[in-house]
Each structure stands twice: as structure tokens, then as C-alpha cells.
């Protein structure tokens, strides 16, 4: 793997380190205490919009006009052929999650809607979608796949899409949708016939305010309080046929489900890197606390144990990061990465949970008595990372299918099914 980043890319990461420390960390602690999402009209969002920073914009070919800040950031990223953009995104995700993952997830921009748009949408659809994010006002995109009865097994989605003339009529419920209530556009997966399984899947671009589309609730969560998580309802929601992602021809070769899975191949390594970022924040606090308050070079059973635990944490986080970078590197090289993406997602979050749990154990009262302590907060924030974007169990199924994809014989086949 190629590890060397360009000077421009290193400058971007330095900017994000400053942003994570000076802006995300304080905001995250503030809204953790409030136990509510950062409101969409918060001045912070306009500030980062003016900086050209947002979710789903790095390395994207949106084809639209850009602000001066966005153009400057784009020029720093390099041309479209630069082979390090996915790797850069992984490193950026870790840094911003180190600051605060809830705030990071709240960044304005196309968000999780962007990968399926890039993979599946027609040029006309891309223009309509990305043009809506122009201007100075922060706007959000969202991705709606999960349902009450379809989480890890996305083939079981039951939101229906019925064709009537030049419209599709959507009916169903989606849940756990990041930025779902504030999103300008939501990419919604539905089925034209549940009996068809994956072959019946379709993806639609649904705009905020479309009749029959409404927000059912804002979830109350254990952690990631700064981030908005919504439930969405579709009741005879009329969507113009031109907002069927990719058009009718796209689905004649069963591409709908493949489009969703390719989206996960892009996002799972990033989610794994975010877990590393949260764990690294807890680890660094614990390391610094003991360095300042104890003589760790002393010859004592306690000092020996703390040194050993801190070394183990650092080693495991470094290994987990490399697994994430490998999945991103394959994407940069335009090579299949489904197995590696799932390996990153299956491996890194449990490692991160173990590290944060050990930090709480070592710190004792320092890490547990104050509810909004950075380590206590990390403990509440980290658990979801083994669940969303596909549970660890689901990732192990994906990995094993690719290990034994041909009549039970081991193989290195990694193409998305």
C-alpha cells in the first residue's frame, strides 16, 4: 500500500485536526449535556459551509458551480485521477470522530445520499441533486434503507413502490435515518414486489416537502446526542418517475441491490475509522491522565499494568487503522473491496469498544462519576458502531461468502454480489 500523502492532503488533515479540537470537541460536549441534536440553524454549520467542508463532498464530481472556499478545497484535493482520495477520507473520518462523532455526523452536505447518487444516478439526476447544495445556506442529504423489520438483512425491505402513470407511489416506514428530518433530499430504497427479493429493489430521490413524506419522530439515543436520528413515513408519497435513480433501464440487470451494496463498500471503512477516532480520544485522555498523575516509570504492579494496557490499546488501534486503510486503498486503485470493507467494519468497532471499556476500567472514578466526561461519553458513543452500516455478524457473513464463494472452496473473489 502507498502511505505517502501529498503536501496538499497533509494540509487538509492539519486543518481538520484544528477543527476537531477547537470546534467539534466543545460542541459535542455541550450537546451531550443537552441530550439533543445541534439545531440546523446553529452558526457552526454556516461557518464550516463557508470553509467548503461538508459530508459527502470530498472527491465528488458534482458537476455544479462551487463557492470560492469549495473551489479552493477542491484544488487542494487534486485532480480526479489522484489515487489517494478514499484513503484521505478514511484518515479525515478518524480525525473528525476524534473531535466528536455526533457533530461530525451533523455536518451539512449531501451526506450518505452522495455515494448512491454517484454510483446509480443519471447525469441529469446528479445535476438536480448537487445543484440544490449550492449557495451559502447549509443543507443536508440523507440515506433511507433501514426499516423496523429490515436492518442487517436489507433484502427484506418492505417499503413499496407502485407505478401509476408517470409517478411511483411509496408506502412504508424507515428508521434510524441520520439527518433525516433536516434533509433536503433523501435517497429511499423500496421494492416493486417483495417476492422478487433483491431484484425488486429500486432507489428514489425524494425531496423534502413531497406530499405523503413526513418525519415520524426524532430518536432519543444513548450516545451521539449531537446527531439527529429520525424516523420517516411514506404514505401514498408521489415521486415523479424521473427521480427513480438510474432510470428504468438501470434495474433490468438487478442493479438496485448492487447499488446499495456498493454504497456500503464505500462507507463501511469510513465508519470503522470513525470508531477508531472515538477510541483514540479515550485512549489519549487516559494516557495523558496517568502520565500527569502517576509515576509510570516506577517499579510497581500498578504502573506495570497501566503501561501494559496502554501499549495494548495503541497496538490494537494501529492495526485496526491499517485494516481500514487497506479497504480504502483498494477503492483508490479501482479494485473490488467488498471483503476488505466488511473486514474493516467487523474488526475495528469491537477493538474500539474494547479500548474504551479498558479506559473506563483503568480510570475508575475519573472515568465514570461524571456523566459527560470525555471517556464516559466515548463509552456511550462507541457501541452503535458495531451495529449500524451492517452489524458485525452481518459482516462476517459477507466475508465468509467471499472466502468460500465457489462450491465451498476458498477463493479470493471479492466482487459485490
The whole-model pTM stands at 0.86
Q: Domain 256-403 belongs to what architecture?
A: Up-down Bundle (1.20)
From the list 144, 123, 134, the residue with the least C-alpha distance to 207 is 144
Q: Indicate if the alpha-carbon torsion angle 65, 19, 345, 139 is positive or negative.
A: negative
**Residue 343, helix vs strand vs coil:** helix
User: How far is the C-alpha of 88 from the C-alpha of 77, rounded, in Å?
Assistant: 9
User: Domain residues of the chain, as ranges?
Assistant: 7-108, 140-254, 256-403
Q: Kindly provide the residue ranges of all beta strands, DSSP E only, lying in 91-166, ordered along the sequence.
A: 140-144, 160-164
As assigned by CATH, the class of the 140-254 domain is: mainly beta
From the list 256, 414, 255, the residue with the least C-alpha distance to 335 is 414
pLDDT of residue 356: 96
User: How far is the C-alpha of 234 from the C-alpha of 212, rounded, in Å?
Assistant: 6
* Catalytically annotated residues: 389
Burial of 110 (C-beta count, 10 Å sphere; 0-12/13-18/19+): buried
User: How far is the C-alpha of 295 from the C-alpha of 290, rounded, in Å?
Assistant: 8
pLDDT of residue 253: 67
Q: Indicate if the alpha-carbon torsion angle 132, 134, 140, 145 is positive or negative.
A: positive
From the list 348, 346, 340, the residue with the least C-alpha distance to 412 is 340
DSSP H helical ranges for 204-300 = 255-293
User: How far is the C-alpha of 296 from the C-alpha of 336, rounded, in Å?
Assistant: 46
CA atoms within 13 A on the CB side of 344: 30
Residue 85, C-alpha cell as written in the block: 482520495
Do the two domains 140-254 and 256-403 of this chain adopt the same fold?
no
Residue 106, C-alpha cell as written in the block: 451533523
**Residue 106, helix vs strand vs coil:** coil
User: How far is the C-alpha of 41 from the C-alpha of 395, rounded, in Å?
Assistant: 37
From the list 110, 102, 112, 108, the residue with the least C-alpha distance to 126 is 110
Q: Indicate if the alpha-carbon torsion angle 291, 292, 296, 300 is positive or negative.
A: negative
Q: Kindly provide the residue ranges of all beta strands, DSSP E only, lying in 3-102, ordered along the sequence.
A: none
Burial call 157-167: b when 16+ CB within 10 Å, e when fewer: bebbbeeeeee
286 with 357: CB under 8 angstroms? Answer: no
Residue 299, C-alpha cell as written in the block: 517499579
**Residue 407, helix vs strand vs coil:** coil
In the block, which residue shows the cell 469549495?
A: 70
Chain centroid to CA 227: 12
**Which residues fall within 8 angstroms of residue 31, CB to CB, at 6 or more apart?**
37, 38, 102, 103, 225, 226
Q: What is the pLDDT along the chain (417 residues), one digit of tens a residue?
A: 777 788 888 898 999 999 999 999 999 999 999 999 999 999 999 999 888 887 655 444 444 444 444 455 555 555 454 567 888 889 999 999 999 999 999 999 998 888 889 888 999 999 999 999 888 889 999 999 999 877 767 778 899 999 999 999 999 999 999 999 999 999 999 999 888 877 888 999 999 999 999 999 999 999 999 999 999 999 999 999 999 999 988 887 655 556 556 667 778 899 999 999 999 999 999 999 998 887 666 777 888 888 899 999 999 999 999 999 999 999 888 888 888 999 999 999 999 999 999 999 998 887 777 777 899 999 999 999 988 877 778 788 888 888 876 555 554 443 333
User: How far is the C-alpha of 67 from the C-alpha of 49, rounded, in Å?
Assistant: 9
In the block, which residue shows the cell 449500524?
A: 388
Q: Kindly provide the residue ranges of all beta strands, DSSP E only, lying in 131-228, ordered along the sequence.
A: 140-144, 160-164, 167-178, 183-191, 201-207, 213-218
Amino acid at each position: 500500500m502507498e502511505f505517502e500523502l501529498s503536501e496538499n492532503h497533509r494540509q487538509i488533515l492539519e486543518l481538520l485536526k484544528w477543527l476537531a479540537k477547537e470546534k467539534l470537541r466543545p460542541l459535542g460536549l455541550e450537546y451531550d449535556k443537552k441530550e439533543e441534536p445541534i439545531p440546523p440553524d446553529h452558526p457552526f454549520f454556516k461557518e464550516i459551509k463557508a470553509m467548503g467542508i461538508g459530508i459527502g463532498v470530498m472527491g465528488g464530481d458534482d458537476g455544479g458551480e462551487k463557492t470560492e472556499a469549495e473551489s479552493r478545497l477542491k484544488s487542494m484535493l487534486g485532480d480526479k485521477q489522484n489515487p489517494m482520495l478514499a484513503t484521505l477520507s478514511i484518515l479525515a473520518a478518524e480525525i473528525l470522530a476524534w473531535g466528536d462523532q455526533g457533530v461530525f455526523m451533523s455536518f451539512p452536505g449531501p451526506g450518505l445520499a452522495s455515494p448512491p447518487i454517484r454510483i446509480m444516478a443519471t447525469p441529469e439526476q446528479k445535476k438536480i441533486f448537487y445543484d440544490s447544495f449550492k449557495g451559502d445556506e447549509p443543507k443536508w442529504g440523507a440515506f433511507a434503507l433501514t426499516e423496523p423489520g429490515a436492518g442487517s438483512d436489507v433484502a427484506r425491505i418492505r417499503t413499496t413502490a407502485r407505478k401509476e402513470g408517470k409517478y411511483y407511489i411509496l408506502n412504508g416506514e424507515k428508521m434510524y435515518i441520520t439527518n433525516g428530518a433536516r434533509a433536503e433530499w433523501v435517497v429511499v430504497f423500496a421494492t416493486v414486489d417483495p417476492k422478487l427479493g433483491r431484484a425488486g429493489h429500486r432507489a428514489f430521490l425524494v425531496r423534502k416537502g413531497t406530499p405523503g413524506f413526513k418525519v415520524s419522530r426524532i430518536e432519543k439515543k444513548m450516545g451521539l446526542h449531537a446527531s439527529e436520528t429520525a424516523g420517516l413515513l411514506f404514505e401514498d408519497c408521489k415521486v415523479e418517475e424521473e427521480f427513480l435513480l438510474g432510470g428504468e433501464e438501470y434495474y433490468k440487470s438487478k442493479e438496485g441491490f448492487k447499488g446499495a451494496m456498493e454504497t456500503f463498500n464505500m462507507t463501511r471503512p469510513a465508519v470503522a475509522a470513525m470508531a477508531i477516532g472515538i477510541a483514540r480520544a479515550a485512549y489519549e485522555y487516559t494516557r495523558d491522565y496517568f502520565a500527569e498523575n502517576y509515576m509510570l516509570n516506577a517499579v510497581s504492579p500498578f504502573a506495570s499494568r497501566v503501561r501494559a494496557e496502554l501499549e495494548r490499546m495503541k497496538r490494537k488501534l494501529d492495526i485496526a487503522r491499517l485494516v481500514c486503510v487497506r479497504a480504502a486503498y483498494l477503492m483508490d486503485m479501482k479494485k473490488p473491496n467488498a471483503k476488505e470493507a466488511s473486514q474493516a467494519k467487523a474488526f475495528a468497532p469491537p477493538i474500539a469498544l474494547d479500548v474504551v471499556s479498558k479506559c473506563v476500567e483503568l480510570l475508575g472514578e475519573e472515568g465514570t462519576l461524571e456523566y459527560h466526561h470525555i471517556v464516559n461519553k466515548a463509552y456511550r458513543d462507541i457501541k452503535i458502531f458495531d451495529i449500524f452500516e451492517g452489524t458485525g455478524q452481518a459482516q462476517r457473513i459477507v466475508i465468509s461468502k467471499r472466502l468460500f464463494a465457489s462450491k465451498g472452496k476458498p477463493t479470493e473473489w471479492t466482487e459485490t454480489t
